Amino acid sequence: MADDAPTPDPAYPGLPAPPPLGSSALPAGTFADRVVLVTGGGTGLGKAIAAEFSRLGASLVVASRKPEHLAAAEEALAPLGPVATVACDIRDADQIAGAFDAAVATFGLPDVLINNAAANFPSPAEDLSPNAWRTVVDITLTGTYLCSREFARRHIAAGTPGSIVDVGASYAWTGGPGFAHSAAAKAGVKNMVETLAVEWGPYGIQVNGLVPGLVPHEDMTADIQQNLQRNRSHAASQPALRVGLPRELGWAATFLASPYGSFISGHTLVVDGANWQRRHLTNPPVVPVREQMGRGPFEG
């Protein structure tokens, strides 16, 4: 997804571009002999996060619903290292147990769980059907809980340590006009990180959150892409004067789950160039969500 980058101004260079794809801050082999399960790892940020673990030696298990996404994971990740894919809807505890069974049979019990899968679409809150609300909350919040529960139960029973990273969103703190369902679900995820880190720390299970800023990518769903395209320049609207790159989330996730991050737990790391901290007493004029989304009047 191309971004309309602002004309460079030498007075305002913005935050520097990151190192190239394939670089790593961690030592080679940091995740050798480690198994990493990534939900939604066949697209977008999940695929980029999985790739960074693989570059550091991990064996990957990618779990999501759609065969085309599992095939995309295989195609992108197999050249980097061992990868297995498994069909799984994270709303269903039995399917999650099946995905963990498949992981155990192929590589062993996952040492790291990346709860990346989520559901979202733009909509004025008053337009959402009860089932639309439930669908997003079931996938984003309940699915994250159910995967975490399966991971923890198996590690507690085995007496082995583990690390969980939950991918969130900054509207967990700020609210998200146009995304009431997702924002509420992500607030639940952020809160759950804090609870589970305390509950499971004594068993050696670390739980953290990881929040991307605006990170456009080619797999973004059509309605989210259209919603972004309807609005003004993405880079110019960020304090960093650039958007995020998928690999930057991969580097943060691998750090949190690495031995170098093992005393960090219950924390949510925001990787967004400070965009969510923008606060002014005078903001740009309010544009109602229906206008932002080009939706007609509410019809009841």
207-to-48, 189, 245, 285 alpha-carbon distances in Å: 20, 11, 24, 39
Residue 167 near which of ligand NAP, ligand HXC, none (CB within 5-8 Å, type-dependent): ligand NAP
Rule CB under 6 A: is residue 230 a binding residue for ligand NAP? no
Rule CB under 6 A: is residue 39 a binding residue for ligand NAP? yes
Classify strands 59-64 and 35-39 as parallel, antiparallel or unpaired: parallel
Non-local CB neighbours of 174 within 8 Å, separated by 6+ positions: 276
Task: Find how far residue 223's CA is from the centre of its chain.
Answer: 18
From first CA to last CA, the distance across the chain in angstroms is 35
Span interacting with ligand HXC, options 105-113, 128-136, 243-251, 282-290, rule CB under 6 A: 128-136
Rule CB under 6 A: is residue 142 a binding residue for ligand HXC? no
Write out the catalytic residue numbers. Answer: 171
Rule CB under 6 A: is residue 69 a binding residue for ligand NAP? yes
Non-local CB neighbours of 295 within 8 Å, separated by 6+ positions: 124, 127, 289
Span interacting with ligand NAP, options 20-28, 106-114, 211-219, 286-294, rule CB under 6 A: 211-219
**C-beta separation of 173 from 191 below 8 A:** no
Contacting positions for ligand HXC (CB under 6 A):
118-121, 123, 129, 131-132, 135-136, 169, 182, 214, 221, 223-224
Give the residues lining the site for ligand NAP (CB under 6 A).
Answer: 39-40, 42-46, 64-66, 69, 88-91, 116-120, 139, 143, 167, 169, 212, 214-215, 219-221
